[in-house]
Each structure stands twice: as structure tokens, then as C-alpha cells.
Amino acid sequence: MHHPVRAALWVLAYLLIALAPLALSLIQLDPGRGFWVNLSVAAGFVGLSLMGLQFVIAARSVHVTGLFGPDVLLRVHRQITALIAVLIFAHPIILFVWDARFLALLNPFTSPPRAKFAVASVVLLSILIITSVWRRRLKIPYQTWQVLHSVLAVLVVVTGVAHVLLIGYYVSEPWERALWVVYSAVFIWIGLWVRVIRPLSRWRRRWRVVHVRPQPLGSHTVRLEPVSSDSYGRQGFSFSAGQYAWIQTGRNPFSINYHPFSFSSSAENPQSVEFTIKTEHGFTARVGELEPGAIVYLDGPWGQLTMDDNEGPGFVFIAAGVGVTPMLSMLTTMADRGDHRPCWLILGNRNESEVICSAEVNQLNERMANLTVVQTISQPGTNWNGRAGRISRELLDEVLPENRARMQYFMCAAGPVMDTAQSALVELGVPVARIHSERFAMA
């Protein structure tokens, strides 16, 4: 964390906003309602304000994401959702246990609108959690889930606020009304910012496809150049090697169909950037259809897998499959800078015909005298006479230098490969603080 004071201030502001509605339940409640009702109301209020704050975390603002990193925010987003579920479910359960007459509010035919909104909010929250935790098992395509997730999240908050307003008990004083107005305004502002203002700023900074070159297994490397500049006349943006950007294609930047990809080109040439994209099923399967001249919108740069923030006497890059992309960016940047520090690229692939960017790796090997490339193939064909097997502790022990503990390590691969490499490195004496990794999965 580069700005601990700013980060602490954000956390403080977060806690203040999350807990502010507690004042409503603590100050205003009529003493006759008793401890259990107060506790239930407090749980509901904090759950609702935490739910609203999830939009701040998910909005990918440079201020927040840049400070904490997207991985940390994603973890926090998930953990806070668990806390929200506990609080929001506790709210009615406490009431039901305290006084069984509250159970009558569950009858949709006789319950007042305020109770109907409460039930709707809890049901929607349950659907939101189930469809997120079991998205893959339920076979919900990512794109559909993304839309569903946003719509459900907005509906949970709107129905929750409607429930509070209809109870009316917490909007009688002017300061209470002011609090709700401020909360609603912030909520609407975040929505406008994410869906209108930020896309508009992307519109002013469009990129054009220069060429698309095929890679193995139907994957592609796409080269882009900026076509327009922002109001300050700036074209494109600078990035640190190892970072990534969200890519969106199409006629306008308002679509929510954007995907994260690591830059695979040199950070020394931000006016001409490359991404290497492995074919999955949706967006990635259509990348090969991009024609030169097609317009692309980029949102970034993001990510903290960078050498610039992690200086060392040498670098070890460990990647499997398409995880090679951020490593290529870091190595090409070193080559362009004339950085002669020793580095190792340890690459794992299933089959020798599946090696993405092998031509680029070979070029780097020729350009960089201090680069050692170690390729290993886990299921080699009969013609492969190189190293066979997975990236393992034995392999790392064999190829890493004596002063391995002083190197900086960057890893990007599927989960199991990263877990093996991480524990192997720690066993080999590498401090955890020198191991940096990126996972190509967010949901």
C-alpha cells in the first residue's frame, strides 16, 4: 500500500457511512420498543448502508481501486456481502423470535406494503448471493450474470429504502430526512458516474485496431493505437508493465460488455499497445473477427503486478498458458529500457503446440543477454525434446540462482499452478513479500 494515510482515511469514511444510520436506531427509537427491536433495526440499517457502499467498491474508481488494488477490493466485496446477509437476515429473525406476531407480516395477502418491500428485498438479496456463489454450477453465462447482478443489487437497495420510508418512523425529523436525501443522492451519483460519466470519458479516448495476429489455439494478439485525445490533448495513457485494462468493443462505450486483459506490450510505447487474448467462449471467441480500424474502448490501467513497485536485483517470471502476457510486457519493457538485470522466465504449457506467444518469447531471448527461458511441457508430443513435466519445486530449485531469496517473483497462471509455485518458493526460502501474483479470474 503506497498511501497508508489516504487508505486509512477511506476506511474511516467507509465505517462512518456504514455506521451512520445506527444513529437512527439508537437516538430516535422510542424506549418502549425495547432492546430487541432496537437491535433488529440496527442490524437492518447497517446491512442496508453496507449494501449501498458495495456500489462504491464495485464502481472501480481510480481513487479507491488504485489505493487498495482490485484483488483486495474483490475479496472485501465478497466478505462484506456475507456480513450483509447475516445482518439483513438477522433483522427479521430477531423480530420473529422476540414476538411471533411479527410472523403475520410474511403473509403477502394481508401484509402492508412496507412488509412486502422488506420481503422483496430479502428474497432479491438471496437470489443475488445464490447466483453469484454458484454461478458456474448454475451455468449462468458471465455476461448474463453481470447484468443480473447489477439489476438485483439496485433492486435490493431500492426495496430496502422503500421499506424504511414506508415505516416512516425514521424520516420524521428534518435531520433524518436530510440523511436519507444525502444517501440517495450519493447512490444515484454513483450510478450516473459508472453508467454515463465514465463511459463518456472513454468515448473521448478511443482506440483503433491496427492489426490482429493469430496465436495458437485460435488466440490472438491485438495491437491498438489511440485515435482521439481527451480535453487536455492527451492521447492514450501510460501504464506500468504487468498492468491490465478493461476492453470494450462496439459502437459506443455504454455497453456493460467489457473484459479485463493484461497489456502484453512494452510500457515504453504506450501509443501502441498489445493484448494477447486466449479464446474462451464469449467475447474472446470473437476477437479474431476484429478488423483493422475497428473502435475499441479501454478503461485502465489497473493492477499491481508491476516491477516498478517491486524493485530488486533480478526478476523471476513464472507463467502458464496465457498467463505469459503480463510477463511479456515486463520483459519487453526491460529490453526497451536497456535494463540488464538478470531474469528468468519459467513457462509451463500443456502441449508444445499450445504455447501462446512463443515467437515473442524467442525474440526476447535473442534481445536479452541476461534472460534465461525455461520451458516445460506437461503433456509433450513425441517430437518434443525439451523439458517435460509441470512447474514444480524440483524445477524451481534446479533453475533458480543461489541468491534466490533476493529476487522479485511474478506469477500468473491457473490457480493450482500458482498454489504449487507459491508454496515451493516459500519452501525454497523466498520471502512471501517478494512473490507477486495475478489471477485471470474475477468471478
Ligand X SMILES: Cc1cc2nc3c(=O)[nH]c(=O)nc-3n(C[C@H](O)[C@H](O)[C@H](O)COP(=O)(O)OP(=O)(O)OC[C@H]3O[C@@H](n4cnc5c(N)ncnc54)[C@H](O)[C@@H]3O)c2cc1C
Can you give the binding site for ligand X, defined by CB under 6 A? 141-142, 244, 258-262, 275-278, 280-285, 303, 322, 325, 438, 440-443
Judged by beta carbon, residue 106 or residue 140, the one nearer ligand X is 140
Among 439, 443, 213, smallest CA distance to 321 is for: 439
Judged by beta carbon, residue 223 or residue 259, the one nearer ligand X is 259
C-alpha gyration radius of the chain: 26
Element (H, E) at 65: helix 62-68
Per the DSSP assignment, residues forming a β-bridge with 192 are none
Query: For residue 429, which amino acid is it?
Result: G
Judged by beta carbon, residue 308 or residue 398, the one nearer ligand X is 308
Pairing of strands 295-302, 206-214: antiparallel
Q: Residue 377 Cβ, how far from ligand X at the closest point, in Å?
A: 20
Judged by beta carbon, residue 244 or residue 315, the one nearer ligand X is 244
Q: Residue 90 Cβ, how far from ligand X at the closest point, in Å?
A: 31
Q: Residue 348 Cβ, how far from ligand X at the closest point, in Å?
A: 16
Judged by beta carbon, residue 43 or residue 331, the one nearer ligand X is 331
Q: Residue 286 Cβ, how far from ligand X at the closest point, in Å?
A: 8
Q: Residue 23 Cβ, how far from ligand X at the closest point, in Å?
A: 38
Location of C-alpha cell 433492486:
155
Which DSSP letter does residue 33 get? G
- Enumerate the H helices of 168-309 as residue ranges: 174-192, 198-203
Task: Give one DSSP letter per residue of 215-258, joined into a string.
Answer: -GGG-EEEEEEE--B-TT--BS----TT-EEEEEESSSTT-S--
Judged by beta carbon, residue 53 or residue 322, the one nearer ligand X is 322
Judged by beta carbon, residue 49 or residue 81, the one nearer ligand X is 81
Judged by beta carbon, residue 47 or residue 242, the one nearer ligand X is 242
Q: Residue 322 Cβ, how far from ligand X at the closest point, in Å?
A: 4
3-state secondary structure of 247: strand
Burial track 377-412 (b if 16+ CB lie within 10 A, e otherwise): beebeeeeeeeeebbeeebbeeebeeebeebbbbbb
Judged by beta carbon, residue 250 or residue 282, the one nearer ligand X is 282
- Enumerate the H helices of 99-228 as residue ranges: 113-133, 142-167, 174-192, 198-203
CA distance linking residue 246 with residue 265, whole number of Å: 15
CA distance linking residue 412 with residue 263, whole number of Å: 13
Q: Residue 257 Cβ, how far from ligand X at the closest point, in Å?
A: 7
Q: Residue 441 Cβ, how far from ligand X at the closest point, in Å?
A: 5
Q: Residue 443 Cβ, how far from ligand X at the closest point, in Å?
A: 5
Location of C-alpha cell 515504453:
268
Q: Which residue is nearest to ligand X (CB)?
A: 282
Ramachandran region, residue 363 (left: φ > 0; alpha: ψ -120 to 50; beta: rest): alpha
The cell for 380 is: 509433450
- 79 CB contacts (<8 Å, ≥6 apart)? none
CA distance linking residue 176 with residue 440, whole number of Å: 44
